[in-house]
């Protein structure tokens, strides 16, 4: 069975976009295409299905993707809350699926081999989670998660007040998979206007 048949994708689009001046960063245009559409196009062929984790459903209606929101007690609690919402969604809607890959909606250059390499490395290293890295930097939001840890993640968020993704993943065995950052970092995040300008210069489509 292929990696794509066993992994569900969750695009995280619930951030506050403060460094971009507010609004919905996922809806910003890069060479005439919304960032979220670029992420969707890259992730969709690698997954059994996709959902979008948001904090404002009205802004994202019409995209043709299931829209999932954070638990009411975890509004604006960061990407871990969005990952938890994705795990809960898959547990309820795709009960035979055991794995979720998460990626932010502002990473328009995701590699075509993201899921297969995460799955392969996790299996080879007998890890519980697999995270992407590039240029010596780990990207913990771009990761492969077992659906079965959603209870532990909920406890970490609600009981322990954990907000940083790497603080949560430190509790587990994590496989880290490195991609080359040149000639273009596949995990470039659009966090501020200068990042969007850089992406415009290096985008090849």
Q: Note the maximum CA span of the chain.
A: 45
Pairing of strands 29-30, 33-34: antiparallel
Residue 89 main-chain phi, psi, to 5 deg = -60, -45
Domain that includes residue 117, residue range: 3-202
**CATH (domain of 72):** 3.90.550.10
How many whole angstroms separate alpha carbon 126 and alpha carbon 114? Answer: 18
In the beta sheet, which residues pair with residue 52?
A: 11, 67
How many whole angstroms separate alpha carbon 11 and alpha carbon 67? Answer: 10
Residue 16 pLDDT: 56
Residue 34 pLDDT: 92
pTM score? 0.92
Q: What is the pLDDT along the chain (205 residues), one digit of tens a residue?
A: 566 668 999 999 976 555 555 568 888 988 889 999 999 999 999 999 999 999 888 888 888 899 999 887 787 778 999 999 999 999 999 999 999 999 999 999 999 999 999 999 999 999 999 999 999 999 999 999 999 999 999 999 999 999 999 999 999 999 999 999 998 999 999 988 888 888 888 877 6
How many whole angstroms separate alpha carbon 142 and alpha carbon 91? Answer: 20
Q: What domain count does the chain have?
A: 1
Residue 200 pLDDT: 86
Residue 15 pLDDT: 61
Residue 24 pLDDT: 80
**Between the CA of residue 119 and those of 34, 79, 123, 146, what are the distances in Å?**
28, 21, 6, 11
């Amino acid at each position: 069975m292929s990696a794509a048949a066993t992994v569900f994708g969750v695009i995280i689009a619930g951030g506050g976009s403060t460094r971009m001046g507010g609004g919905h960063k996922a809806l910003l245009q890069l060479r005439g295409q919304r960032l979220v559409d670029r992420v969707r196009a890259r992730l969709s062929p690698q997954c059994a299905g996709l959902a979008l984790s948001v904090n404002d459903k009205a802004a994202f209606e019409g995209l043709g993707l299931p829209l999932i929101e954070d638990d009411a007690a975890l509004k604006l609690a960061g990407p871990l809350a969005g990952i938890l919402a994705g795990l809960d969604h898959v547990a309820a809607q795709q009960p035979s699926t055991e794995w979720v890959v998460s990626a932010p909606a502002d990473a328009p250059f995701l590699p075509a081999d993201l899921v297969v390499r995460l799955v392969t490395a996790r299996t080879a290293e007998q890890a519980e989670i697999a995270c992407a890295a590039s240029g010596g930097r780990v990207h913990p939001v771009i990761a492969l998660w077992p659906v079965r840890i959603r209870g532990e993640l909920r406890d970490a968020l609600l009981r322990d007040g954990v907000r940083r993704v790497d603080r949560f993943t430190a509790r587990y065995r994590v496989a880290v998979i490195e991609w080359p950052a040149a000639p273009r970092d596949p995990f470039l995040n659009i966090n501020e206007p200068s990042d969007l300008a850089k992406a415009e210069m290096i985008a090849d489509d």
